[in-house]
Amino acid sequence: MQKAATSLIKLSAIFIGTFVGIPLALLILLNTGRPMLERIPATTCSVEWLDQELNRTTGSFNFCPIDFGAVRTLDKEEYVELDGHVYRMRKSETNNFGGNCMVGVACFPHISWPHVWKTVQLIELPGPVDFSKLHAFLGGEYLSDGKAQYYQWYRIQDTDPPVNMSQLQRFEHTSYATDGRWVLHDNRVLNADPKSFETIQKLSIGGPDDETWSAFGRTKTNVYFKGQAIVGADPGSFKVIKYFELKKGEHATGHYRSVAFDKAHVWEEGSHEMTATDASRDYLLKLHADAIAAELELSKHLK
């Protein structure tokens, strides 16, 4: 009888150790070992080649580690030369730190292993480019090797004389820049007089006046939107009004609509160009009245 009782106790201990002790040990190991696991995650790497418009030109290649050899950092941006071609590098990294789960009493702990996804995108600078002489200007937005000139990865058209990159200065609150001889909008060189060039700020109606960056500029002879001359626009009377329009419904939302006008024309602002629209006398009078009201409101805030 005593032997039977002893055997029963041993069997009970084995049962408890198997169905309670092992899961408990796994749970303890999971919680205490997780910091170590996070330091050695599984890693997936990919490299993508993109064109000027950031469309993929070559399929994504997966290999780790990603090592391109000599990489140059020009004002926080990284560049690399591969097989005689120069690329701007864009890196991204996504982390899944892993974890554990316990579902009811029938689910043993299991590990969701930490994982890191690393991506490098390569955007080619149209060549030829002398990689060793490449320098960055104006906060890294412009590049030059002494001959080829770029805005980001877009080639700037050749000019005579060339744009003096070392003298580039940005017009305040705008994407236009000048070296004193040429006016540039991104990679576009304008036929504009830098001495008379000025930016045009929008007047705000019905919403907060929080937009300070302007895509509009003018000289004594032309008005520009994103570097393109607006045909027929009168620089002296040209204004832009930004309307905030509230859409009523279950969830009230609003959006901005920008309208530009001069003494005889009206344009609606699009994402890339200005579109001529209704220029009736009544509409022009309304726009002029709104502009006067917006300028009066702005003057109050400036006092």
| pLDDT value of position 1 | 52
The encoded tokens of residue 165 equal 């990159």
Cis peptide before 23 (omega within 30 of 0): no
How far does Cα 258 stand from its chain's mean position? 23
| pLDDT value of position 244 | 81
Q: What is the dihedral of CA 19, 22, 23, 25, to 10 degrees?
A: 150
Which candidate, 146, 105, 120, 97, places its Cα nearest to that of 47? 120
8 close to 16: Cβ distance less than 8 angstroms: no
pLDDT in tens, the chain (303 residues): 555 545 544 545 454 455 545 554 444 444 444 444 444 568 888 889 998 888 888 777 777 767 777 899 999 899 999 988 999 999 888 887 665 554 554 554 455 667 888 889 999 999 899 999 999 999 999 999 999 999 999 999 999 999 999 999 999 888 899 999 999 999 999 989 999 999 999 998 876 655 678 899 999 999 999 999 999 999 999 999 998 876 665 555 567 889 999 999 999 998 889 999 988 999 999 999 999 888 887 776 655
Q: Which residues pair with 275 in a beta bridge?
A: 268
| pLDDT value of position 222 | 96
| pLDDT value of position 197 | 96
